[in-house]
Amino acid sequence: MRRSFVTTGVVAVVLIVALAAGYLELGSRQARTSSSTNAESSRESSKSLVATSTSTTLTSTSTTSRTTTTSTQQGPIKNVNVTILKGAASNMSSAGFSPDNINVVLGVNNTVTWTNDDRSPHTASSMGGAFNSGNLNPGMSYTFTFTAPGTYPYSCAYHGWMHGTVVVKPST
């Protein structure tokens, strides 16, 4: 029973991320569910971004409890946003950092902002000490710019089940 709640929660998070990223639309067009249609939609999004002279590639992969996002683009440095989801403080919830695993590239999108959308305080604290948001009360944000390649695991100091990873790659 609990596994079906977790699976339902993960599916809901993936759909929310897809809606926010513009891969799905509600209203006049039905949400596309087949993988070939999603790939077609992704190509359409890329074409429209190329038309504005900025190229963006966004890849989302979902497992039962993890989402990995890779973003590469040309042009001005972009900020990567991580949201602390509502209900993340509950150990009965599959909510947490969204996305929880991200890949960034130095000089392209190496600034990350964590925003607390939950009703409880949280932190985004690097396990190696590279960054520490301190207390993030509801509605607060913390921004950190990575300056060295590496893998930076992080967690919430208050809620041990909340964790993620930032992988910083050198620019090519």
This prediction's pTM:
0.57
Band of residue 172 on the pLDDT scale cut at 50, 70, 90: confident
Band (44; pLDDT cuts 50, 70, 90) = very low
pLDDT digits (tens, 9 = 90+) for 4-32: 444 445 444 444 544 444 433 433 333 33
CA distances from 169 to 85, 101, 103, 108 (A): 26, 14, 7, 10
CA distance 142 to 113: 5
Candidate CATH numbers 3.40.50.1370, 2.60.40.420, 3.40.50.300, 2.70.98.30; the one for domain 80-169: 2.60.40.420
Rounded to whole angstroms, the Cα distance separating 92 from 132 reads 25
78 within 8 A of 49, measured Cβ to Cβ: no
